[in-house]
Amino acid sequence: MQIDSWLNSNTFHHSTFWDLSTLVQEKQKQKLKISLCIPTLNEERTIGKEIVIFTSELMQRYPLLDEIAVIDSDSSDTTREVAAAFGAQVYLSRDILPVYGEKRGKGENLWKAIYQLEGDILVYIDADIKNIHPRFVYGLVAPLIYRPEIQYVKAFYDRPLAASQGTRPSGGGRVTEILIRPLFSLFFPELTALIQPLSGEYAVRRQVLDKIPFPIGYGVETSHLIDVYHRWGLGAIAQTDLDRRVHRNQHTRDLGKMAFGILQTFLKRVEALGILGDLPELSTTLRQFQVNNNIFEEIPLNITEEERPPMVDIPEYRKKFKIS
């Protein structure tokens, strides 16, 4: 599929799906169950508002969602208490499939949600969105409901960066533009059609999610796109413009950690696909620097992008969902 053709057929704006009554009717006609997962770590300031809005608008007013669950990475603040108080199902990541051990990372929470939640479609929404709105859900699930050939829908949006004179539009996406877009341009040119490949908001059919591996850390979104593209093709992927997303922005040093983890995942994928051949053993140490009293101090960080296997390979999952 050519990029221009894909952009015309598989890129949407959330306003296209404003008629939630019709969307819910079609969902019910297809007998679909939709689950929302919000992975959290110390998000007490924003989690309550997200749950209130999604519950009131997308469960009570329009029954689009069947369950809202928070999967938490052992927050040290009141994230879990706030989420539970507003009616979300709340789970500690380490309590789900405990026989497989505890690993820390957003990808770990997303992977365990596949086992814990019941939906035919799973929607993942980050917990730190300050301008949360129902469109963050219905804009992503609608293409899956109306277009059976679409399997995976990513969000894109304007991400303002804080500036001394207020905010400026079209900021953000720094790791995308300096790392992912150049890599995709070199190795997977069709994936450059994804405007925000690292967005944390997406909706996916269970039958796809349970068949792909999950890096536990920063590389999860990149690996998803490569794996879905490789197995199902560009036509199985879509994207929806959600207009604007306001959240806290990370410091450059933290972006370096993210990029290092993503690059590990990317290299594993191109090696496994035979694109680069066998790579040497790669270092998992990222070295950064800080200045202390005019002395440059090296800060070595060990970042290893471990992966969880496809959920369909887990016996407990196969038993729960009656997969023979």
pLDDT digits (tens, 9 = 90+) for 119-150: 999 999 999 999 999 999 999 999 999 999 99
pTM: 0.91
**Structure tokens given for 166:** 């207020």
Output the CA–CA distances (angstroms, integers) from residue 308 to 22, 127, 245, in the order listed: 38, 22, 29
Residue 99 within any structural domain of the chain:
yes
With respect to residue 25, please indicate whether it lies within any of the assigned structural domains.
yes
Residue 102 lies in a domain: yes
**What's the rounded mean pLDDT across residues 268-273?**
94
Name the pLDDT band for 117 (thresholds 50, 70, 90). Answer: very high
Q: Has residue 276 been placed in a domain?
A: no
Q: Identify the CA nearest to 210 among candidates 231, 195, 191.
A: 231
The β-bridge partners of 308 are 214
Q: Please give the pLDDT value at position 235.
A: 97
Q: What percent of the chain has pLDDT over 70?
A: 94
Asked if the structure places residue 199 within a domain, the reply is yes
**What residues have CB less than 8 Å from 229, skipping those under 6 apart?**
188, 190, 191, 236, 237
Say yes or no to pLDDT of 207 above 70: yes
Residue in 128, 101, 102, 137 with CA at minimum distance from that of residue 41: 128
Provide the number of structural domains found in the chain.
1
Which tokens in the block code for residue 157?
Answer: 């949006």
pLDDT given for residue 1 in this prediction = 61
Q: What pLDDT is recorded for position 251?
A: 80
According to DSSP, residue 283 is labeled P
- pLDDT for 202 equals 98
CATH code of the domain containing 193: 3.90.550.10
What pLDDT is stored for residue 248 in this prediction? Answer: 63
Among the residue ranges 3-7, 210-214, 225-229, the one predicted with the least confidence is: 3-7
Is residue 42 in some structural domain? yes
Convert the pLDDT of each residue in 65-95 to its tens digit: 999 999 999 999 999 999 999 999 999 999 9
The pLDDT-based confidence of 158 (bands split at 50, 70, 90) is: confident
Q: Is the pLDDT at 225 greater than 50, yes or no?
A: yes
User: What does the pLDDT read at residue 291?
Assistant: 86
Domain membership of residue 143 as a residue range: 3-156+188-249+309-320
- Helix 135-146 × helix 20-29 angle, to 10°: 50
Residue 293 lies in a domain: no
Residues 6+ apart with CB under 8 A from 18: none
Residue-level pLDDT at 249? 66
Q: 93 in a domain, yes or no?
A: yes
